[in-house]
Amino acid sequence: MKKKYFGTDGIRGKVGKSPITPDFMLKLGWATGRVFAEEGHGFVLVGKDTRISGYMFESALEAGLSAAGVDTRLLGPMPTPGVAYLTRTLRAKAGIVISASHNPYYDNGIKFFSVNGAKLPDELEHKIEHYLDLPMTTVASSELGKAKRLVDAAGRYIEFCKSTVLASLDFKGLRIVVDCANGATYHIAPHVFSEVGAEVVTIGAEPDGLNINEECGATKPEFLAEKVIEYRADLGIALDGDGDRLIMVDHKGEIVDGDELIYIIAKSKLEAGELKDTVVGTLMSNLGMEHGLNALGLNLIRANVGDRYVMEMLNKHKVILGGEGSGHIICLDKTTTGDGIVAALQVLAEVQSSGKSLHELKSGMTKYPQILKNVKVNKKVNIDEVETVQKAVKAVEKQMAGKGRVLLRASGTEPLIRVMVEGENHDDVIKHVNHLVDVVKKSI
């Protein structure tokens, strides 16, 4: 059954525009509370990133949960994977994250985690939507939920992150620049990397509610690249606003994306005997990564785009490593969801233990030229049913003669059609992607 409010990654949109409004968040808190109250007594964790609207929505959710008779533990600014970890280890009924991830400050959204630290199953999202369509009620005053602030949340998560690499591994002598995207990791990531021994230069760690993801972080790694060169660092780490994405920069200032990082982690785990024969990517994963993994004797399974679908494929095939070129990297042997800090630590561990630079480690795979362009749309459209677009796609694929890929898809979180072309020749890729973008614009 189609969902009314939930998308591929929770509920997201522009602040002040339905459903990202205070009254909806109040009702959402109540509906969530009703669903989890059915499963017995317990509390719900609520964390957020640093965007200014988080204060407003935190209060609304807390009130709604209280009206449903459910206790709340407020975490304050906390990375999305940190909320997942704390939900699991504190045995909370659920975890709620107020965040629009890599989006600008004027967007916001809600993500949920179940008691085991994973995304909510469809059946629970359907239950929440059922209550959202009912009149809101309030339990008796004696049964109202209470709210407390969990003051040691950041420290708990910092210790967990550090535990995902061997305590015997010495990171001294490694100078790194860490870009926190003025987001939820600003008070956590610098401590993690410095406490494992690295020399840390911190940037993007002065959130003001409006500058989250603004010309910094995993979506704008060029800023980090400049700083890596300026500080003569060994490498750079760029996280996004809620800390579930990772992009890195090598000592030459070259950007190392999620596909290359997955390759590095896969090779490391394979050599350590921790990885069997398969890695999960997506329809967008670069052909170069697939060929690099194949050369190691590993298979690549492609999931639909979105960490939710990567996770489904990981669980289905009992695989421990997967992710996306955008930087969502899931190490299921370490945690239950995509985690930028944890993934970065795995890469740092390989840099330090191998004695090779990040630049050398990424050279094991050669990326195909891949260009992705976004076309803004005013309405939802099934691109597969637009005849003129599909004819153009087939024509381009015929010209590429099996030496490249074309992918068109609607974004699950934004009003965009994503047009991706990948092939051996960069100039041909540019020509093909521009042609397809023009066809999409004229057809929709």
Residues with catalytic roles: 101
pLDDT of 305 strictly over 90: no
| Euclidean distance between CA atoms 247 and 143, whole angstroms | 46
Q: Pick the residue with more confidence: 84 or 8?
A: 84
pLDDT digits over 377-429, tens only? 887 888 888 899 999 999 999 998 878 889 998 886 678 999 999 998 899 99
Q: β-pairing, 147-149 with 71-77?
A: parallel
So where are the chain's domains?
Answer: 11-151, 170-253, 257-367, 370-443
| Euclidean distance between CA atoms 237 and 229, whole angstroms | 13
Q: pTM of the prediction?
A: 0.91
Superfamily in which the 370-443 domain is placed by CATH:
Alpha-D-phosphohexomutase, C-terminal domain (3.30.310.50)
- Whether domain 257-367 has CATH 3.40.120.10: the reply is yes
pLDDT digits over 59-73, tens only? 999 999 999 999 999
Q: What is the pLDDT of residue 413?
A: 67
Strand order, beta sheet including 246-250: 199-203, 175-179, 235-239, 246-250, 255-256
Closest CA to 233 of 225, 223, 221: 225
Q: What is the pLDDT of residue 3?
A: 87
pLDDT digits over 88-146, tens only? 999 999 999 999 999 999 999 999 999 999 988 889 999 999 999 999 999 999 999 99
| Euclidean distance between CA atoms 101 and 18, whole angstroms | 18
Helix (H, G, I), strand (E, B) or coil at 203: strand
Q: What is the pLDDT of residue 341?
A: 98
Is there a common fold for 257-367 and 370-443?
A: no
| Residue 101 φ/ψ region, left for φ over 0, alpha for ψ in the -120 to 50 degree band, beta for the rest | left
pLDDT of 301 strictly over 90: yes
| Euclidean distance between CA atoms 217 and 205, whole angstroms | 10
Share of the chain above pLDDT 70, in %: 99
- Whether domain 170-253 has CATH 3.30.428.10: the reply is no
pLDDT digits over 157-201, tens only? 999 999 999 999 989 999 999 999 999 999 999 999 999 999 999
Tell me the two tokens of residue 84.
């997942």
Share of the chain above pLDDT 90, in %: 88
CATH number of 11-151: 3.40.120.10
Could you check whether the bond before residue 369 is cis, i.e. omega within 30 degrees of 0?
Answer: no
| Euclidean distance between CA atoms 248 and 256, whole angstroms | 5
What is the residue-averaged pLDDT of the chain? 95
pLDDT digits over 12-59, tens only? 999 999 999 999 999 999 999 999 998 777 999 999 999 999 999 999
